[in-house]
A and B are shown apart, each in its own frame.
Chain A
Amino acid sequence: MTPQLVVFFVLAALAVIGAVSLILQKHPIHSALSLIVVMVALAGLYLLLGAEFVAAVQIIVYGGAIMVLFVFVIMLLNAGVEEHTSISKMAGAPGLLLVVALAGLIAATIARSTASIQSTPQTGQMASTFGISNMIFKEFVYPFELTSFLILVAVLGATVLAQREKS
């Protein structure tokens, strides 16, 4: 096993464990912490693929800004331990079926893929800052601007909702 492969499996395991723990944890803060672990593990995987810029942005935006807001809101509302109800039978049986189907799908995809994990593509030039800005500001400039417009609308909506009514 190459060192890269070892690191890959460690990070992949971290991501999966984090994701499972996100669902199983009782307290919202613990769930949020698990999600941070997932985000950071994903950033590590990007780094392994040679996408340094994306990895850093993943941590800054998701691991930093967004998750801090999550934690902030959970703390502000002082959310306590979640109440768990027993799983309804209606949700249980189809859920199990769906899980099996999804697991089968993933397994089939892995089994059918010809590329081995060792030969992870090094994205290199394309994932560099230069490559990414070329894509965002030349090739995909309209979808990019549309997305920012969407976010602007969301920001305006939030501002309107948060405004106190004038008495």
Chain B
Amino acid sequence: MNSFFSNLWSANAELVITIVKIVLLLFIVLTVNAYLTWFERKVVAHMQSRWGPYRVGPHGLLQPLADGVKFLFKEDPTPAGVDKFVYYLAPLLALALALTGIALIPFGPDPIRLFGHDIYLGIAPPDVNIGILALFAITAMGVYGVTLAGWSSNNKYSLLGGLRSSAQMISYELAMTMSVVGVLLMAGSFNLKKIIEAQAHHPEWGILGWNIWPQILGFFCFFVAAIAETNRAPFDLPEAESELVAGFHTEYASFKFAMFFIAEYTSMITVSCLCSIMFFGGWLSPFPASWRFAHYLPSAILIAFGLWVIWDGIRYETIFGRIILPGAGTVIAGLGAVFVLFPNVNEFIQGPFWLLSKILVFLFVYVWMRGTLPRFRYDQLMAFGWKLLLPLSIVNVIATSFIILAKMTWGTK
């Protein structure tokens, strides 16, 4: 490397690393989003005794790709009488804010050392003091995407959807913010990394040390309020198909609609991250620290899953599937084998593995709830938020504070 480039590198290394991380995370999040739609359709379909997407690629795995192409090539008409500026701004705002939120999530405890720089998993530096507050700030702004889309579309159904969404978000944001106060009190910090570390005070407790046990009330309030914040079933009143056509995005087609779609799925991921970080120990393993053999669990799961994919693939109906599925299975099983063979790599992936598994579980719960629960009626929604969730979360805050106070006064250190 000549001196010009090495100077440029040393001066801007942080910047370059951050930009690369942003591009990488963007790519990962968008891909995960695409496959989340597949996952959701598949899970809901099986719950309803259907097959779900099956035609495009083996097990419908190329369906997200087909959907993406469809979104890109559909005609994108702008309805008459819309407020042009706001109409174009709304999907952009929704997508940009949803993607910004995920930048604040730390995905692993340890940095990778590359080119003489510690690279942390996650875009924001791990010492952001206001991690959780910044996330709430971004969520609070996220309302505008939906609200403004509803207003600017010049359509009464959209307007109703936008109105519902803003009312719903104001109501549930209170409960959501109050419900995490208990966790913050226990951690004594807004920093997401410190919140996770506070749950590892007793390394031998494993899963019993997580916030979910003392904060089960807080978790209930947070998760319900967060589902409402992300406008997902059973709180998807802003887009209730049966009454409002499609609510706020009735007048959006093509890629502008896709932007709302991506925003919604990205906020689902963010909420799943938050739930795992604040209540389920983030990247902590559920097993006591002395159980060394638990470190081979990621490999075992990957290899087992890979072998199953191979076994399933060689019996698949189409020739394409008989080639692709065993190939994918080999890659997955090979990844598991790599983790076993290189202890360093294995130690490094422990954190991200547990965090990602927890996120996956929460995403499944999201889909599960959508497949199970009917939509709330509007007055039920309001009563539920104001008369149940908010008082419960306040009770949780007061109880937690008193217990912490009692521990500080009489407790043995």
Contact = CB atoms under 8 A, between A and B. Distances in A.
Interface in B104-144: 129-130, 133-134, 136-137, 139-141, 143-144
Interface stretch (A51-59, A90-98, A149-157): A51-59
B159 A56 contact: no
A68 interface: yes
A60 B142 CA distance: 11
A23 interface: no
Interface residues of B, number: 28
A65 B85 CA distance: 23
Interface of A: 27, 29-30, 33, 36, 40, 43, 52-53, 55-57, 59-60, 63-65, 68-69, 71-72, 75-76, 78, 128-129
27 contacts: A27-B83, A29-B83, A29-B86, A29-B151, A30-B85, A33-B148, A40-B141, A52-B130, A52-B133, A53-B190, A55-B130, A56-B130, A60-B137, A63-B137, A63-B141, A64-B141, A68-B143, A68-B147, A71-B148, A72-B167, A72-B170, A75-B151, A75-B163, A75-B166, A78-B159, A128-B129, A129-B190
B98 interface: no
A11 to B, nearest CB: 16
A36 B136 contact: no
A65 B173 CA distance: 9
Nearest to B129: A52
Contact of A64 (B85, B134, B140, B150): B140
A60 B136 contact: yes
Nearest to B150: A75
**SS of A interface (majority):** helix
A71 B162 CA distance: 10
A71 B177 CA distance: 21
A65 B129 contact: no
B169 interface: yes
Given A60-B140, A64-B143, A78-B159, 18 more contacts: A29-B86, A29-B151, A33-B86, A36-B141, A43-B137, A52-B133, A56-B137, A59-B141, A60-B137, A63-B140, A68-B143, A68-B144, A69-B170, A72-B147, A75-B147, A75-B150, A75-B162, A75-B163
Nearest to A64: B140
A131 to B, nearest CB: 12
Interface string B138-176: 011101100110110000000100110011011001000
- Of the candidates B86, B137, B173, the one having the most CB atoms from chain A within 10 angstroms of its own CB is B137
Contacts of A129: 129-130, 190
The 4 closest A-B pairs by CB, nearest first: A64-B140, A56-B133, A59-B137, A72-B166
A65 to B, nearest CB: 7
A161 to B, nearest CB: 18
Contacts of A71: 144, 147-148, 151, 166
A18 B346 CA distance: 51
B165 to A, nearest CB: 10
Contacts of B167: 72
B130 A53 contact: yes
A128 B133 CA distance: 13
A40 B143 CA distance: 15
B295 to A, nearest CB: 36
B166 A60 contact: no
Contacts of B190: 53, 129
A59 B140 contact: yes
Contacts of B143: 64, 68
Nearest to A63: B141
A128 B169 CA distance: 28
Interface string B74-95: 0000000001011000000000
B151 A65 contact: no
B411 to A, nearest CB: 22
B158 to A, nearest CB: 11
Contacts of A69: 170
Contacts of B173: 64-65
Contacts of B137: 43, 56, 59-60, 63-64
Given A36-B144, A64-B141, A65-B140, A56 B166 contact: no
B43 to A, nearest CB: 32
- Most B CB atoms within 10 A — which of A30, A43, A55, A60? A60
A53 B128 CA distance: 11
Given A72-B170, A75-B162, A57 B86 contact: no
A129 B167 CA distance: 30
